[in-house]
Structure 1
Amino acid sequence: MLLKIAKVFCSLHLLGFLTPVVATDDPGANYSIDEPESTFENANGQFSIKLLYNVGSAVGTSQTAATLYEKDCDGDATSDTVIAIVTKSVSGSQLEVKVNIAKENLGSSSLVDLEGGFGASKGTLNFCVRSETLTTDATPISVSFIDSNIALSYDLSNNDFKVEDNTVVKDVIKETDTEVVTNYKVDACRCSKDSSDCLTGTLPNLSQNGLVYVCLYPNSTDVKISNFNMKFEQDDDLGNHYEIVTLGTTEPESNSLTAITGDGTTTSRYKVVSRLITRLFESSDTTFDITGTAYLVFTATRRERRLVNVDANLRSDVSRELEEVPDAGSAAGEAPFDMNVSLNRPTTAVPKTSNTAVISLAVVGGCAALSIAFLLFKKFKK
């Protein structure tokens, strides 16, 4: 028992969320549950943490459950006297879960990691809250759940009782600190009518009314190109751009002077063939750029990895994602591509050396960046 409550510095960190899906009794019902907002409260010396979730329209108070676990939601913590769920209610499509902290039990709780040299006066309380939505069956079935790690740091080694500098930091619950970093790239290159292989050496200049062949492909069999756009750009006289391929609803769509073959995999590259238009040659510029953005999706389940912070995984109003790792079709990111092509002007044939045939950019999550980080943690609903 703590004989005297001295000055306390608390920092509340909401470390992460994991959102598998289990089942649903009615395909038309919405049992979704979103990531929570957290608030630290101190009411006359009573510590509490309030978690507020947005839930689906089918969810009432009786269709929810909240349970306390040890860190990472690995072991039951309902019997520990330092934490207790005191409120669980749904109002206006929001679920509120309130957890009380018995500060007088911090020094004896197995959930507390004590800081050396301060006895029981300084440490961090670690626990996990699992919130679920349930069906209305006689034996309710869990439809969706979210695990939230909570870390509450305290310092009782000073003189007053005070809570300062409360912060919320999002992360993903993870089993280890190990990360696997993988770069996914999209390569764009000039190719030919008869082959999807990239042309090498000095690339041929293009002539008026001629055809240009461009091939796109990812650098890994883990991903494929699901959609892309492509346009011709020139420094002057072309306006903003001339778009030959646009982003379709489910796949790229070409204009009347362009054709697309392939499926965007490493073995069947996308090949775009387009007729060169007059205004490319009316410009004073002897080159033009072929630019665009390619969107990647995963082609197969990889059992050892889970993608972090990807918002485009397929979801419905009924359920949230159920994945051990990203499934085929889930978003892997996007990458812009850019290449420069030389032209043979109608009245002259002075070439301007084009850029290298292949241009690569790495992608992460839903935007162009340097890498995709994967955490080795996998969590399943049983």
Structure 2
Amino acid sequence: MKKAAKLALLFILISSSLLAQEVIYEHYADGVDFWVLIPYNSLVFKHNTNSAVYNLSVEIKNKKTKDKFNYEETISVPRREWLQDTAIPIHFQAELAPGKYETLLRFKNLNLGNKTDLKRNFILDNKYTSIGQPFIFVFKEGIQFQPSDLTRLPSEVDSCILQQKFSVLPDSIQVFSSLHSQIFDYPRGKYQCDLTLWVNQDNMDFLKIVFFEDNVFYEMEPFYYSPWFYFNAIYSYEDQIQQIRYIANQNEWNKIRKASPEEYPEIIEQFWQNHDPSPGTTRNEFRESFYQRVRIADERFTVHKKLKGWKSDRGRIYIKYGEPDEVYSEVHPLDLKPYIVWVYYKPNRVFVFMDRGGYGQYELRNKDEEF
């Protein structure tokens, strides 16, 4: 019998073990496994250098019990075109008692000195993770990375390993593609499946994992790096909630604005699931397009550090409506302040922005047109 709520099962697994998607934790009898996924696209390479050296420091603490755990690692990542849209994984394990924890991460570029700080909260209960994430880790030229898609792997990888931990007691686990299959009988705790020949010899269009337990089986797909991981490393939960406000309807926003900061990660994920044009697939094209608009808005319309481009009037309109069909501007008009006009054929709107202060900060003049 196939488990009816296959997608629901996967959502429960993901939502209970992800910290804003760039940090994953799973709880087992031998401790808590943490995976920090560092988007390769977020790495900054010093001019005329072929590698970037970063230091990751992690502090996990329970304010109530004073329990604390620290981890630190330095990595060197070479500049490679085939690493685009992948993630560099860092793994460590900690022994933690059940409770509420705060995770502080600092990722510092040792070549340039810039750093990124992230703060994430999670709750560890008495239950162990029943079925953990099926991770795929690829090695090439001695570099370990997590792919976003098996069809986009570089040619002739050194190795490709699928690994997964679990607390259930399955009768067997089957890993299969369109051309290959491997069965693990009565595995206990974890398994590893070598996919190297599979990916080097054939074009892998899909990969499935099935847990057989008595007369029930659970089907799932591997956990891949997703395009929006990088987004979470740049924008806080609070930022993302405000960005979502641009496109949420009134009923959605009424529910979202009542949420506490602890509920933001789940609220954000639920919003994008509700707006997924292709539910059941690994991609959410609408989410990807929205994130791309936010990034472009920041690049084009940020005037100073105190006002990010996505928060500006032009940034907000761009995020909501995309590229205008026509643009008119006058930098030095007679008896007027500099202005820019954006015209959208669909949905038949015209927006007028004016630089009242003369510092490049254009404000929307006809705000009624937006709504």
Higher helix share: 2
Q: TM-score, normalised by structure 1?
A: 0.22
Higher strand share: 1
The structure number with the bigger radius of gyration is: 1
